[in-house]
Amino acid sequence: MSHANAMLTPKARLKLAQLVVDHQWTISEAAKFFRVSWPTAKRWVTRYLQHGREGMGDRSSRPRHNPNRTPRPLVKRIVALRWRKRLGPVQIAGLLGIPASTVHAVLVRCRINRLRYIDRVTGEPVRRYEHPAAGEMLHVDVTKFGNIPDGGGHRYLGRVEGGRNSRASAARSGHKRSSKHPRNGTAYVHTVLDDYSRVAYAEIHADEKAVTAIAVLQRAVAWFAGQGITTKRVLSDNGSAYVSYAWKAACAELGITAKRTRPYRPQTNGKIERFHRTLNDGWAYAKFYGTETTRREALPGWIHYYNHHRPHTALGNKPPVSRLTNLPGQYS
């Protein structure tokens, strides 16, 4: 692509060359008309005579051969030390007897200059994937939050006052643990996330049983359909609700292919795991809530903010709904 200040675009280059070759303009006349130098006009005329219209495009200035480039066997040794031992440029340079700047350049070129790009378990580069269209894959999971006692919890009020509120709420509900510590229950947040757009759906329930998870999935599929998304696959972990025959039958009834992650590999479902962290920071513990009811009432508003307004770094700092088109209220 031509640079921002270029006088000649490919179309203008073609016009200049045609004026000289087909209409017998002199190169000086064409250069003056297009306000470029004589050598520039001459170059495009020559290109036109040699290659025709195809020669009017930009060419790479990258050299065909670089004698100073790091030899391939040495690159392989650098990469191997990075993968297997997770060493930095200085340590690798010391082992191989080469400058650390050379090692760093190789790591950048191979896109493993950050350790977060390398899987801690396998030592291989992290392979990030994204399905090509909305609805190709939905991620489902459940995250848990302790219910907030009336008056507020210890995160904002401290252990003393928060504990007093927790004991009072537990006494009113009649629930206590065997250790006599107060128990106020758990909020099970069932979340569904579209792999391509990152558009999210969430509901709060009192359990994570299969019948609850199935009902959430049915409502989520209907909600996504209202956004113009047709669900094809759903990915879950190996929780009891998702390995049940009822879950498989429900997916089949909805025309969805049910898939599960490899055991002990939550990275496979990493998008929704990262969404849970965002949910934790942006909603669950983002501010003081005087009651659990207040926090639950705030969830739909936060989900709307996440989908329609919150910039997402994986989407070029645009909100998830920006990947969906022609939706009513998309920019509200």
3-state SS of 142-174 is EEEEECCCCCCCHHHHHHHHHHHHHHHHHHHHC
Looking at the structure, tell me whether residues 189 and 318 fall in a common domain: yes
pLDDT recorded at residue 60: 81
Looking at the structure, tell me whether residues 245 and 219 fall in a common domain: yes
Sheet holding 257-260, edge to edge: 200-205, 186-194, 138-146, 233-236, 257-260
Q: Which two tokens stand for residue 75?
A: 């690159």
Measured CA to CA in angstroms, residue 123 lies from 87, 130, 269 at distances of 12, 21, 19
Residue 161 placed within a domain: no
Looking at the structure, tell me whether residues 143 and 281 fall in a common domain: yes
pLDDT recorded at residue 87: 85
Q: pTM of whole model > 0.75?
A: no
Model pLDDT for residues 123-136, shown as the tens digit of each residue:
555 556 788 899 99
Non-local (6+) Cβ contacts of 264 within 8 A are none
Looking at the structure, tell me whether residues 41 and 105 fall in a common domain: no
**Number of domains forming the structure of the chain:** 3
Residue 93 placed within a domain: yes
218, 247 in Cβ contact below 8 A?
A: no
Looking at the structure, tell me whether residues 202 and 142 fall in a common domain: yes
CA distance 180 to 178: 5
Residue 176 placed within a domain: no
90, 100 in Cβ contact below 8 A?
A: yes
Looking at the structure, tell me whether residues 281 and 249 fall in a common domain: yes
Q: Is the pLDDT of residue 262 over 60?
A: yes
pLDDT recorded at residue 230: 93
Q: Is the pLDDT of residue 96 over 90?
A: yes
Percentage of residues in the chain having pLDDT higher than 70: 89
Report H helices in the chain.
10-21, 27-34, 38-51, 72-85, 89-96, 100-109, 154-173, 210-226, 245-254, 270-279, 292-308
Residue 304 placed within a domain: yes
Give Cα 138 to chain centroid, integer Å: 14
pLDDT recorded at residue 110: 87
Residue 4: pLDDT band with limits 50, 70, 90: low
pLDDT recorded at residue 332: 47
275, 303 in Cβ contact below 8 A?
A: no
Looking at the structure, tell me whether residues 20 and 81 fall in a common domain: no
Looking at the structure, tell me whether residues 38 and 79 fall in a common domain: no
What number of helices (H) and strands (E) belong to the chain? 11, 5
Residue 15 placed within a domain: yes
CA distance 106 to 72: 10
Looking at the structure, tell me whether residues 78 and 40 fall in a common domain: no
CA distance 325 to 303: 19
| Coil vs helix vs strand at 89 | helix
103, 93 in Cβ contact below 8 A?
A: yes
Looking at the structure, tell me whether residues 273 and 143 fall in a common domain: yes
pLDDT recorded at residue 306: 95
Report H helices in 35-149.
38-51, 72-85, 89-96, 100-109
pLDDT recorded at residue 153: 76
Looking at the structure, tell me whether residues 87 and 189 fall in a common domain: no
Q: Look up the CATH number of the domain holding residue 297.
A: 3.30.420.10
Supply the DSSP symbol for 280. I
pLDDT recorded at residue 314: 83
Q: CA 228, 231, 235, 236 torsion: positive or negative?
A: positive
Model pLDDT for residues 76-95, shown as the tens digit of each residue:
999 888 888 878 899 999 99
Looking at the structure, tell me whether residues 86 and 196 fall in a common domain: no
Residue 125 placed within a domain: no
Residue 18 placed within a domain: yes
231, 131 in Cβ contact below 8 A?
A: no
Q: Is the pLDDT of residue 112 over 60?
A: yes
CA distance 236 to 215: 15
Give the residue among 144, 311, 323 at the shortest CA–CA distance from 224.
323
Residue with the bigger pLDDT between 140 and 153: it is 140
Q: Which domain holds residue 89?
A: 72-117
Q: What is the Cα gyration radius of the chain? A: 30
Mean pLDDT lowest for which of 67-76, 133-142, 149-158, 168-177?
A: 168-177
For residues 316-331, average pLDDT = 74
Residue 241 placed within a domain: yes
pLDDT recorded at residue 83: 80
Model pLDDT for residues 20-63, shown as the tens digit of each residue:
999 999 999 999 999 999 999 999 999 999 998 888 888 888 78
Mean pLDDT, the chain, rounded, equals 86
Model pLDDT for residues 183-238, shown as the tens digit of each residue:
678 899 999 999 999 999 999 999 999 999 999 999 999 999 999 999 999 999 99
- Cβ atoms within 10 Å, residue 210: 18
Residue with the bigger pLDDT between 160 and 209: it is 209
